C-alpha cells in the first residue's frame, strides 16, 4: 500500500456535493464519499452509471440516500435499543483513505477506515477495488476478550429504469422475512419483482445463495451482485406511499432498487475474541438485448 498521491488515477473531488475519492482507470470510474465511506458512483467502461443517488439527497449528518451505504456494526436496529441510529455508525462517520495500489491486473485498490469509532467493541476497515467489476470488502476485527455479535450490510442502491419493470434473479424458492408484513415469513415465488398488491418490498432472505441479478429491460442491462461471507440478501423499495413521506426519496422511488449483501436476522455473526470477519461483494454489469 502506498499513499494515494503515489499512484495515478486517484484524486480528491466533489461528487453529488460530497468530498470524495475519485478513481479513474481504463476499465471504470468510481467515487467513494469520505462521509460514510460510501461508494457513490461506479461506471464501468462502455456502460452507464450503475448506482443511484437521490437528487434530493440531504446534507450530513443525515445519511446519504443512495450509492452503497455501509451498515455496520448493525443493520437497521437489530439487537440494539431504540435510541441508536438506524444501520449503525459507519455510514455517518468520516472515513479516511489509508492506502492505495494498483493490482497485477491494473485495477485500483483503495483501503479506507472510519474515524471516531474507537468507543465501539469492534474495529473495521474497507477495501474498494475498481476495475471492470467493483469489489468491496468490509473487514471487522474484535480486539476484545469476549465474542461480539454483529449484523451488517452493503446497502446497494442500483439505478433502474423503473422498479416496477425489473426483476431480481437468485432468490427463487427462498424463505424471506417480510418487514412490511410484521416479520412474517413467506416463500419467494419465482424471481423477485415489486409486489403488485402492496407496491413495496422490504424482504430479508436468510441463507441466500450469494448471487443476485437485477434484470432491467429499460436500461437493457443485467447487474450481478455476488457476495462472499454474506449469507443474507435484502431487497428494499419503499413504494410510492412510504416514499412520499421520505424527504430524500419522494417521487424518485421508481428509479432504484436496493439489493443488499448482508448478514442479518438469523445470519448475525459472532466474532470471537481476537478474530476477524469479512463481508465481500462484487458488482458487474452485462448488456442485454
Ligand atoms: O431509511 P434508512 O435508515 O436508510 O433505511 C432504509 C431501509 O433499509 C433496509 O433496506 C431495511 O430493511 C429497511 O427496513 C429500511 O427502511
Q: In ligand 1, which atom is closest to the CA atom of 202?
A: 12
Residue 26: count of CB within 10 angstroms of its CB: 9
CA distance 63 to 87: 10
Q: Which of 155, 224, 255, 277 is catalytic?
A: 155
Asked if 260 is an active-site residue, the reply is yes
Q: What is the ipTM of this complex?
A: 0.98
pLDDT computed for residue 2 by the predictor: 44
Which is nearest to 72 in space by CA: 246, 209, 268?
Answer: 268
**Which of 166, 168, 261, 258 has its CA nearest to residue 206?**
261
- Rounded to two decimals, what is the model's pTM? 0.97
Q: Which of 43, 50, 20, 44 is nearest to 32 (CA)?
A: 20
pLDDT for res 289: 86
CA of 227 to the centre of ligand 1 (A): 19
Inter-residue contact 224 to 286 (CB < 8 Å): yes
Residue 258 near ligand 1, beta carbon < 6 Å: yes
Q: From CA 64, how far away is CA 53, in angstroms rounded?
A: 8
C-beta 287 within 6 A of ligand 1 = no
pLDDT digits (tens, 9 = 90+) for 21-44: 999 999 999 999 999 999 999 999
Q: Whose CA is closest to atom 1 on ligand 1?
A: 86
Residue 103 C-alpha cell reads as: 493490482
Does ligand 1 have an atom closer than 6 angstroms to the CB of 179? yes
Q: Which domains does the chain have, with CATH numbers?
A: 4-287 (2.70.98.10)
Instruction: Locate the DSSP E strands across 152-219.
Output: 152-154, 157-159, 167-169, 175-178, 184-187, 201-205, 211-216
> What digits encode the pLDDT tens for the residues 223-247?
999 999 999 999 999 999 999 999 9
pLDDT per residue, tens digit, the chain (289 aa), is 444 445 789 999 999 999 999 999 999 999 999 999 999 999 999 999 999 999 999 999 999 999 999 999 999 999 999 999 999 999 999 999 999 999 999 999 999 999 999 999 999 999 999 999 999 999 999 999 999 999 999 999 999 999 999 999 999 999 999 999 999 999 999 999 999 999 999 999 999 999 999 999 999 999 999 999 999 999 999 999 999 999 999 999 999 999 999 999 999 999 999 999 999 999 999 999 8
Best mutation site among 155, 182, 183 for ligand 1, i.e. most ligand atoms within 8 A of its Cβ?
155
Q: What is the pLDDT of residue 6?
A: 55
In short, whether 86's Cβ falls inside 6 Å of ligand 1 is yes
Question: How far is the C-alpha of 201 from the C-alpha of 204, rounded, in Å?
Answer: 10
- Secondary structure of residue 194 in the 3-state scheme: coil
Q: Give Cα 262 to chain centroid, integer Å.
A: 9
- What per-residue confidence (pLDDT) applies to 55? 98
- How many degrees, rounded to 5, is the angle at CA 206 between CA 143 and CA 156? 75
Amino acid at each position: 500500500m502506498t499513499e494515494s498521491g503515489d499512484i495515478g488515477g486517484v484524486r480528491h473531488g466533489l461528487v453529488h456535493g460530497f468530498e470524495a475519492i475519485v478513481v479513474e482507470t481504463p476499465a471504470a470510474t468510481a467515487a467513494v464519499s469520505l462521509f460514510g465511506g460510501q461508494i457513490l458512483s461506479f461506471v464501468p467502461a462502455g456502460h452507464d452509471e450503475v448506482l443511484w443517488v437521490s437528487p434530493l439527497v440531504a446534507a450530513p449528518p443525515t445519511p446519504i440516500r443512495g450509492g452503497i451505504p455501509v451498515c455496520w456494526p448493525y443493520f437497521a436496529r437489530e439487537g440494539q435499543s431504540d435510541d441508536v441510529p438506524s444501520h449503525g455508525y459507519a455510514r455517518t462517520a468520516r472515513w479516511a483513505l489509508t492506502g492505495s495500489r494498483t493490482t497485477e491486473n491494473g485495477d485500483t485498490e483503495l483501503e479506507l477506515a472510519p474515524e471516531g469509532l474507537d468507543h465501539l467493541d469492534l474495529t473495521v476497515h474497507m477495501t474498494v477495488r475498481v476495475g471492470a467489476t467493483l469489489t468491496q470488502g468490509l473487514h471487522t476485527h474484535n480486539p476484545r476478550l469476549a465474542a461480539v455479535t454483529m449484523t451488517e450490510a452493503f446497502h446497494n442502491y442500483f439505478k433502474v429504469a423503473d422498479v416496477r419493470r425489473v426483476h431480481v434473479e437468485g432468490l427463487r424458492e427462498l424463505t424471506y422475512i417480510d418487514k412490511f408484513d410484521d416479520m412474517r415469513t413467506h416463500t419467494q415465488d419465482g424471481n423477485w419483482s415489486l409486489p403488485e398488491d402492496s407496491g413495496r418490498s422490504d424482504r430479508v432472505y436468510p441463507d441466500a445463495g450469494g448471487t443476485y441479478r437485477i434484470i432491467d429491460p429499460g436500461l437493457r442491462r443485467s447487474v450481478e451482485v455476488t457476495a462472499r461471507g454474506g449469507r443474507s440478501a435484502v431487497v428494499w423499495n419503499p413504494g410510492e406511499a412510504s416514499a412520499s413521506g421520505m424527504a430524500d426519496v419522494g417521487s424518485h422511488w421508481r428509479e432504484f432498487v436496493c439489493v443488499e449483501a448482508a448478514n442479518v436476522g438469523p445470519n448475525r455473526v459472532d466474532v470471537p475474541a481476537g478474530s476477524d470477519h469479512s463481508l465481500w461483494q462484487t458488482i458487474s454489469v452485462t448488456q442485454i438485448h
